[in-house]
């Protein structure tokens, strides 16, 4: 029997951020990984990972600077999987209240605004459990595990309204708490994203990444 070929995953390189850890983590779970900003490679890969470290405005500008917004749009229009990580989740929303973001628009894949966490201690830094959505693909087998977060801002309301009359499977939204509830992960058709860093979340993060890689077709 011929072995199954490894899934090709591109980690989108827009010029900054600690992306090497994401590359190594994906390689460890069996993906064939390339770190690149090349449009063709990003479009043709089985999966695209959009990492994000730092400020919303800088990540947003960096992505747009390499045409990442158009790459993401085109992949999603064709049902091709995309995974955002940390600020890579935040930029999928409409906007951010983070200083420096100003009137800058996010990628607008989901409605909503990224807001400062309502907690006495910010940033939220360390290991936290999540309330995984029932039937989640990403969290299969790790629903009760802890994941590593580093952030001061988050999405605290899920605002996407189902206009299909129930004809489309609703997004799986996973929550966590730090001073209040915030979105820890979303699985919405081909677009998934996590506020935490799976590549820094030990065995639980590795299992989550394996679940995502195994779901690629």
Measured distance CA(45)–CA(3) in Å, rounded: 19
Q: What percent of the chain has pLDDT over 70?
A: 94
pLDDT at 214 > cutoff 70: yes
pLDDT for the residue 199: 97
Contacts of 143 (CB under 8 A, 6+ apart): 132, 136
- Give me the active site residues, please: 86, 197, 199
pLDDT at 162 > cutoff 80: no
Residue 157 banded pLDDT, cuts 50, 70, 90: very high
Higher-pLDDT residue of 217, 18:
217
Mean pLDDT to the nearest integer, 77-92: 97
The burial of 72, by beta-carbon neighbours within 10 Å (0-12 exposed, 13-18 middle, 19 or more buried), is given as buried
pLDDT at 114 > cutoff 70: yes
Query: 129 - beta bridge partners?
Result: 146
- Please give the mean pLDDT across all residues of the chain: 94
Tell me how many helices (H) and strands (E) the chain has.
6, 12
State whether CATH 3.30.420.40 applies to domain 8-214.
no
For 114, the token pair is: 């990224």
Under a CB-based contact definition with an 8 Å cutoff, are residues 175 and 139 in contact? no
What residue segments make up the domains of the chain, in order of their start?
A: 8-214
| Three-state SS at 209 | helix
Under a CB-based contact definition with an 8 Å cutoff, are residues 96 and 90 in contact? yes
Element (H, E) at 21: helix 20-28
């Amino acid at each position: 029997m011929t072995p199954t070929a490894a899934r090709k995953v591109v980690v989108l390189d827009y010029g900054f951020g600690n992306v090497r850890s994401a590359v190594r983590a994906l390689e460890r779970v069996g993906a064939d990984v390339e770190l690149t900003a090349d449009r063709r490679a990003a479009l043709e890969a089985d999966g695209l990972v959009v990492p994000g470290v730092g400020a919303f405005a800088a990540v947003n500008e960096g992505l747009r600077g390499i045409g990442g917004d158009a790459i993401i749009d085109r992949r999603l229009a064709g049902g091709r999987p995309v995974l955002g990580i940390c600020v890579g989740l935040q930029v999928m929303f409409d906007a951010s209240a983070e200083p420096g973001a100003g009137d800058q628009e996010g990628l607008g894949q989901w409605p909503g605004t990224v807001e400062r966490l309502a907690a006495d201690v910010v940033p939220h830094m360390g290991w936290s459990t999540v309330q995984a959505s029932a039937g989640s693909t990403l969290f299969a087998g790790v629903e009760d595990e802890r994941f590593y977060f580093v952030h001061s801002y988050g999405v605290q309301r899920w605002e996407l309204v189902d206009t299909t009359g129930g004809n489309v499977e609703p997004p799986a939204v996973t929550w966590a708490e730090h001073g209040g509830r915030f979105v820890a992960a979303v699985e919405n058709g081909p677009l998934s994203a996590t506020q935490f860093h799976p590549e820094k979340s030990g065995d639980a993060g590795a299992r989550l990444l394996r679940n995502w890689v195994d779901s690629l077709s």
